Amino acid sequence: MNSFYFDVAHLLSGSLVLASLMLLYQDRVYALLHVFTLHALVLSLSVAWQAFAQDAPHLYITAAIALVFKAILIPVALRRIVAQLRIHQILETVGGIGPTMLAGISLVALSLVVTLRTTPAGDRFSREDLAFALAVILLGMLMIVTRRNAISQVIGFMSLENGLMLAAAGAKGMPLVVEISVAFAVLIAFIVIGIFLFRIRERFDTVDILVVDRFRGERR
């Protein structure tokens, strides 16, 4: 029975890594949003399974938050932003899809090597879970640094955060998991609202206030 729990948890967190890799090669906005919805769904399933396997009912709350917030609300909100701002063009990546995918695969290998070597004393559940979580986090970071578009950077950030949630849920007896998930949800909400409010249309590539000023001057 224990082995069955483990296999399912392994399957679900592995699927999350797979979804992260899928995110890397999406070059259209709507497709990216769809894959992210899938990502959040898999996360919520994985957390729910952890709640069941660890017999920790508070994790169901986390799973529900992930489901409602990340799999439904945020994708819907982002779709509306994209539709209103008319930014559903082709997304360009830095360095091309192929090298990015190769980098992603080596990051997954790196995180497996690091985690499995550093935690020989931990139990099976946590070790596998942490390895996959680290892979998801690294892939999210890779996505952030290889995209120039604000929407895809935000999605990269959210997938990174999904990896953190996976790690928090997988570590047995980790305190304040629910609170952390709520806090992250609020943070993400602020970022999404921030993008919407600032209406930074194209490049999220500079923090130079002069550029913003010039941009405003052109619109006026």
Partner 1 sequence: MTLVIALGCSAALLLLGIASLAMRSFSGRSTLVYAGTFAVSLISLASSLAQLLFLSGVTPAVTLPVGLPWLGAHFRMDALSSLFLAILSWGGVSTSLFALGYGRHEPEPGRILPFFPLFLTGMSWVILADDAYVFLFAWELMSVTSWALVVSHHREEANLQAGHLYLIMAVFGGFTLLLAFGLLANSAGSYAFSAMRSAAFPSWTAGIVLLLATIGAGSKAGLFPLHVWLPQAHPAAPSHVSALMSGVMTKVAVYGFVRIVFDLLRPHSWESSLLLLFLGGVTAVLGVLYALMQHDLKRLLAYHTVENIGIIFIGLGLALAFATNQIPWAAALSLTAALFHTINHSLFKSLLFLGSGAVLAATGERDMGKMGGLIHRMPGTTIAFLLGSVAISALPPLNGFASEWLTFQAILVSPNLPQWALKFLIVAVGALLALSAALAAACFVKAFGMSFLGRPRSLHAAEAKETDRWSLSALFLNALLCLLAGLFPGSVVNALGPVVQELVGQTMPQQSQPFWTPMVPIAQHRSSYDAFLLFILIVLTGLAVTGLVRWIGFRPIRRSAAWDCGYPDPSPVTQYTTASFAQPIRRVYASSVFGARETVDMPLPGEARPARVTVKIHDPAWQGLYAPIIKLVWFLADRLNPMQFLTIRRYLLLGFLLLVFLLLLLSLWI
Residues that bind partner 1 (CB under 8 A): 94, 107, 110-111, 113-114, 117-118, 138, 141-142, 144-145, 147-148, 153, 204-207
The least distance separating partner 1 from the CB of residue 41, rounded to whole angstroms, comes to 27
Tell me the closest approach of the beta carbon of residue 38 to partner 1, in angstroms: 24
Q: Which is nearer to partner 1, 72 or 110 (CB)?
A: 110
Residue 67: closest CA among 75, 79, 55: 75
CB of 107 or CB of 166, closer to partner 1: 107
The least CB distance from residue 191 to partner 1, in Å, is: 13
**Complex with partner 1: residue 75 or 104, whichever CB lies closer:** 104
Q: Give 110 or 193: the residue with its C-beta nearer to partner 1.
A: 110
Minimum CB distance to partner 1, residue 32 (Å): 17
Nearer to partner 1, 89 or 206 (CB): 206
CB of 110 to partner 1, least distance (A): 6
